[in-house]
Homo-oligomer: A and B are copies of this chain.
Amino acid sequence: MMGKLFRVSLFGESHGRGVGVLIEGCPPGLRIDEEYIARELSRRRPGARYTSPRREEDRPEILSGVFRGHTTGAPIVVFVANRDVDSSFYEEIRHTPRPGHADYTARVKYWGFNDYRGGGIFSGRITAGLVAAGAVAKRLLETHGVSVYSYITRIGPVKARVKPRDSEEFRRSIERSPVRCPDPDASRLMEEQLRKTMKEGDSLGGVVETTVFNLPPGLGDPPIDTLDGDLAKALFAIPGLKAVEFGAGFRLASMRGSEANDPWVLKDGRVLTETNNAGGINGGISNGMPLVFRVAFKPTSTIRKPQRTVNLRTGQPAVIVGRGRHDPCIAIRAVPVVEAVTSIVLADHLLRWASWETLRSKILGDV
């Protein structure tokens, strides 16, 4: 379960009946309907070109918790039924774990009872639930003017230069790019790389950056339930994500304190930092500056190149070749998922923060 107050649980398998999400603790009165969630889900398929051409017209059904277009305060379930799909391929690989996939760990952990078809619960498809929950979380964030932007800053060797701004124009610059990269030059180079890699039957990794504007200072519950820690944990629920860094991140390791420390300044009565190497978080608590972090995705594990593995039944070496068509770079499709997960965690922390805010004047009157 993600979250303490705004709580999110996932369920479903790639080739089972469907995938979905349970959201508990969501306040009443938020405008939600299936159209809105469908729209958010469709963002998982950006430009058709570099995402898998498998048809996934996700039609979300809200099974509970929404009444007459608003959340009711009761648990919300959103379910996305799977289409009929051919699972015969997966029978073949049942005992032959695919490199880079969770086939082997699933088999060990679940004693062979796991639904291995299409990766089961390890499929990227499970992220539909995260996006649905993120859509609800965003409605909560909107009440405080908090806006979350995720976008690609790297694919394979190509790095982008991005200056995030809290504007519709910036949002459009992301959505306009077939690879979700707001730097048009980098976007073109990334497309080139992807075309080349696809031709070779291979895949590429990537980096997704997220910037959050207008987050109130004071979110995060140290010493343990830090804002960065809760974000990191939740992000690792996204398949293929292998790293996360806040602010200057790993670059901080090679910096000096005099460079790394963000000087405090007052500007129009607001306390800000001149630089933002901390990524908007000090001591696990938001500081009012934009929240900035980056996550790395490994290259798509399924590739058309032959890969070595073993047949666990026979004990013999085996070779496996990815069939069907897959995204050459899962990072692209992950962009709205990262945005959704960020929104979920922030919605939860916004509620926690609010629990004190209500009492503030009553307690301070007491002091």
Listed from nearest, the 3 A-B pairs whose CB atoms lie closest are A102-B283, A229-B236, A243-B245
Decide: A242 near B243, CB < 8 A? Known: A114-B73, A257-B300, A282-B104: no
Within 8 Å by CB of A309, from B264, B302, B317, lies: B264
Binary contact track A96-132/B, C-beta < 8 Å → 1, others 0? 0101111011101111111100001110001000000
Question: What residue in chain B is nearest A330 (Cβ atoms)?
Answer: B257
**Residue contact B224 to A237, C-beta cutoff 8 Å:** yes
Binary contact track A330-341/B, C-beta < 8 Å → 1, others 0? 010000000000
With A22-B77, A156-B254 known, 6 other A-B pairs at CB within 8 A are A16-B64, A28-B114, A71-B113, A108-B218, A140-B359, A265-B317
Q: Is A303 part of the binding interface, using a Cβ–Cβ cutoff of 8 Å? A: yes
Decide: A157 near B73, CB < 8 A? Known: A242-B246, A260-B299: no
Within 8 Å by CB of A360, from B63, B111, B230, lies: B111
Within 8 Å by CB of A100, from B30, B217, B261, lies: B261
Residues of B with C-beta under 8 A to A85: none
Residues of B with C-beta under 8 A to A73: 109-111, 113-114, 356
Within 8 Å by CB of A11, from B65, B203, B236, B243, lies: B65
Within 8 Å by CB of A27, from B115, B205, B356, lies: B356
**Residue contact A202 to B258, C-beta cutoff 8 Å:** yes
Chain A interface residue bracket vs B = 35 or more
Q: Nearest Cβ in chain B — how far from A157, in angstroms?
A: 6
Q: Nearest Cβ in chain B — how far from A136, in angstroms?
A: 12
Question: What residue in chain B is nearest A197 (Cβ atoms)?
Answer: B256
Within 8 Å by CB of A243, from B202, B222, B246, lies: B246
Q: Is A167 part of the binding interface, using a Cβ–Cβ cutoff of 8 Å? A: no
**Residue contact B299 to A256, C-beta cutoff 8 Å:** yes
Q: Nearest Cβ in chain B — how far from A272, in angstroms?
A: 9
Q: Nearest Cβ in chain B — how far from A79, in angstroms?
A: 7
Q: Is A88 part of the binding interface, using a Cβ–Cβ cutoff of 8 Å? A: no
Residues of B with C-beta under 8 A to A7: 1
Q: Is A170 part of the binding interface, using a Cβ–Cβ cutoff of 8 Å? A: no
**Residue contact A283 to B122, C-beta cutoff 8 Å:** yes
Residues of B with C-beta under 8 A to A157: 254
Question: What residue in chain B is nearest A222 (Cβ atoms)?
Answer: B121
Decide: A359 near B236, CB < 8 A? Known: A22-B22, A305-B258: no
Residues of B with C-beta under 8 A to A111: 28-29, 73, 360, 364
Q: Nearest Cβ in chain B — how far from A241, in angstroms?
A: 8
Q: Which of A155, A317, A362 has the most CB of B within 10 A?
A: A362
Q: Nearest Cβ in chain B — how far from A145, in angstroms?
A: 10
Residues of B with C-beta under 8 A to A105: 217-218, 220, 281-283, 285-287
